[in-house]
Structure formats: C-alpha cells, structure tokens
C-alpha cells in the first residue's frame, strides 16, 4: 500500500539515516514557485547532514514515502492537491485522490515505513477558546500512539500553548527542549512557558529514542522542541500586536473550524510584511538540519 522510494528503502535497509518531511508546506504553505524552491532546499539540507530525505505525499491514491523531483513538482504545482490528515488517508486511497500530508498523516506514514525521525515547522495543538469550540489538532492524538521523533519549533503561536502542553502531558507524549528549558513559540524563540526536560546534542536525543524502545513503553512520540534562533525570530512586540488584531478580525469575519488556522497565519504574513514567513522558514530549516543530525546519531547506534 505504501510506496517507499528506492533511495529511502535502500537507506532503511542499510540502517543509514533518513528524515521524513511533510508536504503541506509545499502544496498549501507557500506561494508558487517559492514552494518548490523551498522543498528542494529542505531536501538538500537533509543531504548535507548525511541523511536521506523522505518527503511524504499521496499521489493518485498511493501514499509515497520519498518523492523524486517530478513528484515534488507535481505536489508544488498541480491544482486540486488536497490537504490530508491521518483520518483522510483511507478516503484518499479509496478515491484515488492526491494530497499533501499534514503532521499527523506524515508521522503515521513515516512510522509505517520505518522512518524514525521527522522534521516539521510547528505542531498543531489546542486552539484558543477550546472550552467553547472543542477544537484540538489531530496531531496530538496521533503522536500519542505513534513511535516517532518529531523535531519542531513548538506549536503554532496562534494556539493555546499552555493548554497544548497540558494535553501532551495527559496523552503521555514526551517533550524536551533542545538546548533550552523554554518551550519555543514557532515564530518566537520562547513561548513564555517552560519544559521539564532539556537535551543538548543529537546523541542525547538518540539515547532517549533507544530508552523508549528498551522500556517497551507505549508507542508515543518524542517531541524535540528546537527554538528558532533569536536573531531570526519574529519581533515579539510585533507578533503580539498583529496576532491580537488577527484574532479580532477572525471573530469579526465569522471564521470558524478548519478555516481559522490558515486565516490567522495568512493575516500574520500580510501584516508583518512577510516577516512571519521568514521566521517560519528559518525555524523549518533549523529543524530539518537538527533532524538530519539526530537521524545520523540514531543510525549510528
């Protein structure tokens, strides 16, 4: 059912490092043609760290772990590419549909293919006004039952960060700051909230991964929260002002459900003159680089 590219399969069989990459940033997160340029750049970052990139997507009903250049171009340029969470995968497969994978779908397919390390930008989480909307990302539940290491810049700052951290604790998902005791805030180096554990090297992360297996613990993820460098973060004052305006605009325009996150993210890009997008890409590049190093440490176990 899952098509694993020859390059990725050979790397997995030889226990060489592999890093999973999501495809929603290609199809839905960036304008053309920059989306394809970034996709190729991120794969190149993985290769420079000595690992094999495994970008994941569904094409004509077939989940692919590892895309060639022609397939990347298709995801970047084809109209009608759907956005697929893990719940959508059976429907997309049965319908023969094509779609870009979110965090939850990417993590699931990567783990099924035997890829242990996954790099992304920011996780989904508990939305603001959760007590009213009951809106929580499917990422959290999927990560609670999937053994994969996710390198991210925390959760998107438009979400309820403390509620998300509490939910991750309840679900039993391990969270560690990389080089920090503070939980990063996606565009920001520090969300304002602490983490209980800190890891300072790829080798320490790989040690935790080995301990997960040795303990035969529940099949949950390890989240490595890697902050965007302070010099590349979005100005915190600007972030606070524009986010407050975005939330008011969202309410005023009656935006609800799945439309909330893209509305807020687009508002931030437009009203920070692209600075939020620059911080986002800086975070993704750093996460991909670190994931390559973690994958190498894991493969060298």
* Poorest-pLDDT segment among 33-47, 108-122, 131-145: 131-145
**What is the C-alpha separation between 278 and 245, in angstroms, rounded?**
20
Question: What pLDDT, on a 0 to 100 scale, did the predictor assign at position 12?
Answer: 98
pLDDT of 130 reads 67
Q: Based on the domain organization, do 108 and 144 belong to the same domain?
A: no
Residue that finishes a domain, picked among 115, 137, 159: 115
Q: What is the pLDDT of residue 259?
A: 76
Domain termination residue (choose one: 115, 150, 173): 115
CA distances (Å), origin 196, targets 98, 175, 183, 234: 40, 8, 9, 25
Binding site listing for substrate? 83, 103, 137-139
pLDDT in tens, 150-171: 999 999 888 899 999 999 999 9
Are 130 and 241 in the same domain? yes
pLDDT at 301: 56
| Binding site feature residues for Mn(2+) | 135
Q: What is the CATH number of the domain that holds 162?
A: 3.40.1790.10
The tens digit of pLDDT for each residue in 57-107 reads: 999 999 999 999 999 999 999 999 999 999 999 999 999 999 999 999 999
Would you name the residues annotated as active-site residues?
A: 22, 156
Per residue in 71-82, pLDDT (tens digit) is 999 999 999 999
Q: How many domains does one find in the chain?
A: 2
pLDDT given at position 158:
82
Binding residues: 83, 103, 135, 137-139
Kindly tell me if the per-residue pLDDT of 197 is higher than 90.
yes
The verdict on 49 and 146 lying in the same domain is: no
Q: Would you state the pLDDT for residue 60?
A: 98
Computed over its alpha carbons, how large is the radius of gyration of the chain? 18
- Between CA 160 and CA 167, with CA 162 as vertex, the angle to 5 degrees is 90
The model's confidence at residue 224, banded by pLDDT at 50, 70 and 90, is very high
Domain boundary (52, 84, 115) is at 115
Average pLDDT over residues 104-127: 95
Report the largest interatomic distance among the alpha carbons of the chain, rounded to a whole angstrom. 55
Q: Are residues 108 and 125 in the same domain?
A: no
* Same structural domain, 194 and 296: yes
Which range marks the domain in which residue 30 is found? 1-115
Q: Same structural domain for residues 149 and 284?
A: yes
Band of pLDDT at residue 132, cut at 50, 70 and 90: low
Lowest mean pLDDT among 22-36, 107-121, 252-266: 252-266
**173 and 283 fall within a common domain:** yes
Instruction: Specify whether 131 is located in the same domain as 111.
Output: no
pLDDT for the residue 133: 64
Tell me, yes or no, whether 160 and 93 share the same domain: no
Query: How many angstroms separate the CA atoms of 301 and 290, rounded?
Result: 17
The pLDDT confidence band at residue 258, using thresholds 50, 70 and 90, is: low
């Amino acid at each position: 059912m899952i098509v694993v590219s020859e390059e990725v399969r050979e790397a997995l069989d030889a226990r060489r490092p592999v890093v999973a990459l999501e495809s929603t940033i290609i199809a839905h997160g960036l304008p053309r043609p920059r989306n394809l340029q970034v996709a190729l750049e991120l794969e190149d970052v993985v290769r420079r760290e000595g690992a094999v990139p495994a970008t994941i997507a569904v094409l004509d009903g077939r989940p692919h772990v590892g895309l060639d250049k022609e397939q990347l171009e298709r995801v970047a340029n084809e109209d009608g590419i759907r956005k697929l969470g893990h719940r959508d995968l059976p429907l997309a497969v049965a319908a023969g549909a094509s779609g870009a994978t979110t965090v939850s779908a990417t993590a699931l397919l990567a783990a099924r293919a035997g890829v242990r390390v996954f790099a992304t930008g920011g996780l989904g989480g508990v939305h603001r006004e959760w007590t009213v909307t009951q809106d929580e990302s499917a990422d959290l539940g999927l990560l609670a039952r999937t053994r994969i290491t996710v390198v991210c810049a925390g959760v998107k700052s438009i979400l309820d960060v403390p509620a998300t951290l509490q939910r991750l604790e309840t679900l039993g998902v391990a969270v560690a700051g990389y080089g920090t005791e503070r939980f990063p805030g996606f565009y920001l180096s520090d969300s304002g909230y602490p983490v209980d554990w800190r890891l300072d090297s790829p080798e320490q992360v790989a040690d935790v991964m080995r301990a997960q297996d040795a303990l035969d613990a529940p099949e949950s993820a390890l989240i490595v929260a890697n902050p965007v460098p302070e010099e590349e973060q979005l100005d915190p004052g600007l972030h606070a002002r524009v986010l407050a305006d975005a939330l008011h605009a969202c309410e005023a325009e009656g935006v609800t459900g799945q439309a909330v996150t893209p509305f807020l993210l687009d508002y931030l890009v437009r009203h920070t003159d692209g600075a939020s997008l620059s911080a986002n890409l800086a975070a993704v590049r750093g996460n991909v680089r670190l994931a390559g190093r973690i994958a190498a440490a894991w493969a060298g176990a």
